[in-house]
Chains A and B, each alone.
Chain A
């Protein structure tokens, strides 16, 4: 599939517009699938996903600048620009790690609180990240940061393939692969035990604090990965891209697809991106149209498109083509 995509771009079948569109879709897929781990599988309500995405985006950008560009704030470049294409996964990994660490911010209060209270804490965490970024002059404050644009341009020059598309594709596959393996192991099912009855989970020897920590860190880390990809796709990051609206988009995708269904999240992210694109003529009004859609969905299919089923539950024959379990 990846080869097919690359071939299509090379032959001109997929124009720049279509590529950007697919990239955006991929980033939304990562965001939706990762949030589903906390909101769907663990049954908590996290609404600060954009905050983790921001941490990943800024970290990846800054690391890129420190390594390859250098400016008055970060000192001279440490490595020649020609290494940038090779170091790109490393840059993304730092985004993942930083966001996972910030995930601790939310995971620790989750030991004692849950439900509505935890939702408020995640909301606050999202705001803390955004406001902090607005006040850090070194990354441009509210104006945003675009130092990594040079890295983007340099990689674009040295590579003929649509590298962003390739990396986002790998990111989506990696996300689904990690999450699937996690939630299908007896270890990861501890997260679902917490969802269904936390008291029983604790008494039946599940270390609930440990599981929450792992789930929050994995989820926020993957959001950070999406953030890093986003930063290098756009070539510019600013705090305004990571507001509550972005977190809400993530929530909408999770609920649209179905809590506890990775296929649902992926599908919903696809549908959601298409909707965003088609509703563009409505401009601001699309933020009336999309929530309306959510209300309609909650009325007529509250469990989401897929409920908690996976594609392989509906078409068991698909299992022949892959073995994740």
Chain B
């Protein structure tokens, strides 16, 4: 069964056709990219997958489950995590709390447990705390546990956001422009990090990215969209030399 199966996905916003008959199939463990010029509909595809919009037509299946009608938090608990183009950490919470609150889908205790401080509450809180610390340790950020995000450099905030996404143990990780706003030294770090994550965690990574160094050095397979429609797909080499792609990015020389 495919990890992610999108069939003929279409999204209209009023008169605007944001995504047009988009299809994709991920088996799991891949690392691939979705690229295209600004306004091509890339983030809309991610928003559809994570459940923020309900598609006008077409279907999205995650692990065989149709996500139509699901709220984003329900889609997340199917094993889909994502990061945002502009980092969206909870800025008044510590890094540790950022990760702990993301475990809401498997808290395993109720309101009453939290008010009465039952045994179950204590056990679950302890386990969640322990696992969150373990993840931070594994990602080499243990000493940041008690920091609040605004005190961290931008690149580190991005890493924390990725750690938070990983904390829900996703099978599919969506990265929305992970390299946006990073200085070039941090981009090298980021490439190493994503490579390492792909090796260490059992998951598929699907990213939107404008920086071709990132896409070309990480992804085995690339899909290009423009004005909502797929214009090319293939390996990095095929994409690099595809005339359609060059036209979309650089414009038509005949104009």
7 A–B pairs (Cβ distance < 8 Å), ordered by A:
A182-B115, A185-B125, A187-B114, A190-B101, A197-B89, A205-B77, A208-B73
Q: Is the CB of A196 within 8 A of B114?
A: no
In A218-261, the 8 Å CB interface with B consists of: none
Q: How large is the interface on B (under 10, 10 to 19, 20 to 34, 35 or more residues)?
A: 35 or more
Known: A186-B100, A192-B92, A193-B93. A203 touches B76 (CB 8 A): yes
The reply to whether the CB of A189 lies closer than 8 angstroms to some CB of chain B is: yes
- Interface pair A181/B90, CB less than 8 Å apart: no
**Does A202 interact with chain B (Cβ within 8 Å)?**
yes
Q: Is the interface of A mostly helix, strand, loop or mixed?
A: helix
- Contact flags B205-231 to A (C-beta < 8 A → 1, else 0): 000000000000000000000000000
Min Cβ gap A262→B in Å is 15
Q: Does A214 interact with chain B (Cβ within 8 Å)?
A: yes
| CB 8 Å contact bits of A168-198 with B (1 = contact, 0 = none) | 0000000000100110011111101101110
Task: Report if B91 contacts A (CB, 8 A).
Answer: yes
B53 sits at the interface (CB 8 A):
no
Task: Given A197-B88, A200-B90, output 13 extra A-B contacts at Cβ < 8 Å.
Answer: A181-B114, A182-B114, A186-B103, A186-B104, A189-B97, A192-B101, A199-B84, A200-B88, A201-B90, A201-B101, A205-B104, A205-B168, A207-B73
Q: Which of A200, A202, A206 contacts B89 (CB 8 A)?
A: A200
> A185 CA to B116 CA in the complex, in Å?
11
With contact pairs A185-B121, A185-B125, A188-B114 given, residues A205 and B105 touching in the complex (Cβ less than 8 Å): yes
A178 touches B104 (CB 8 A): no
Alpha-carbon distance between A192 and B97 when the two chains are bound, in angstroms: 11
Select B107's contact among A186, A192, A201, beta carbons within 8 Å: A186
Listed residue (B50, B90, B92, B105) with the most chain A CB atoms within 10 angstroms of its CB: B90
Which residues of B pack against A, CB within 8 Å? 50, 52, 71-73, 76-77, 81-82, 84, 88-93, 97, 100-105, 107, 109-111, 114-115, 117, 121, 125, 128, 164-165, 168
Closest to A209 in B: B71
* B residues in contact with A209, CB < 8 Å: 71
CB within 8 Å of B: which A299-321 residues: 308
Q: Once the chains are docked, how many angstroms separate the CA of A185 from the CA of B104?
A: 11
- Check if A204 sits within 8 Å of B102, measured CB to CB: yes
Closest B residue to A204 by CB, please name it.
B102
Q: Which of B71, B107, B115, B164 contacts A204 (CB 8 A)?
A: B164
The answer on a CB contact under 8 Å between B128 and A186 is: yes
How many angstroms from the CA of A204 to the CA of B102 in the assembled complex? 5
Q: Are A200 and B92 in contact (CB under 8 A)?
A: no
Give A308 to B91 CA distance when docked, in angstroms: 13
